[in-house]
């Protein structure tokens, strides 16, 4: 299993194939449906985004409240196709990768290929395991959205599987 820092993810994408397992470390942002709507409105209005899109990685997830002494509660992925209407724009504006569960639309896969990005899979149902690989969490935007607010996370060897690689190979298509 290859360890990769988020800052090296775009260059590493050229060497990864659908189905590869990786351990990801570095800064990752969360955004789900409501946050994506706000982000795209800010883009359309020429507003300032709460984090830089260039080289970014977005985890489609929202945590449960943390237990005492913990950074976050359970932090498993949500279904990625709910963000498919927004993802191509974000990839085209510099986002490197997204993390979630389930398949993606052809439009998202085309944007991944066009931009040399990745779609990474987190294991659904293993939110407590995922949380153990998050060393820092800070809410940075849209606090009124609760668990769907945008958060800045620090991953430490977060286990992931390449769902769609930079060449458009898709683990879901391959395994049909």
Q: Which residues are catalytic?
A: 36
CB atoms within 10 A of CB 118: 27
Q: Which residues contact 134 (CB under 8 A, 6 or more apart)?
A: 71, 72, 75, 153, 154, 155, 156, 158
CA dihedral of residues 17, 20, 26, 29 (deg, nearest 10): 80
Residue 108 and residue 84 in contact, taking contact as beta carbons nearer than 8 Å: yes
Residue 96 and residue 117 in contact, taking contact as beta carbons nearer than 8 Å: yes
With vertex at residue 51, the alpha carbon angle to CA 47 and CA 54, rounded to the nearest 5 degrees, is: 95
121 burial level (CB within 10 Å; 0-12, 13-18, 19+) = buried
For 121, the 3-state DSSP assignment is strand
């Amino acid at each position: 299993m290859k360890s990769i820092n988020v800052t090296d993810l775009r260059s590493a994408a050229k060497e990864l194939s659908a189905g590869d397992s990786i351990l990801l470390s570095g800064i990752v942002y969360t955004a789900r449906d409501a946050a994506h709507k706000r982000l795209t409105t800010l883009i359309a209005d020429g507003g300032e985004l709460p984090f830089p899109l260039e080289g970014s990685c977005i985890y489609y997830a929202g945590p449960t409240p943390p237990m005492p002494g913990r950074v976050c509660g359970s932090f498993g992925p949500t279904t990625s196709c709910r963000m498919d209407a927004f993802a191509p724009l974000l990839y085209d504006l510099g986002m490197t990768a997204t993390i979630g569960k389930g398949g993606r639309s052809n439009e998202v896969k085309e944007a991944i290929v066009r931009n040399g990005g990745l779609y990474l899979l987190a294991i659904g149902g293993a939110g407590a395991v995922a949380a153990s690989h998050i060393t820092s969490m800070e809410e940075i935007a849209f606090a009124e959205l609760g668990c769907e607010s945008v958060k800045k996370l620090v991953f430490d060897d977060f286990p992931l599987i390449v769902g769609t690689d930079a060449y458009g190979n898709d683990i879901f298509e391959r395994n049909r």
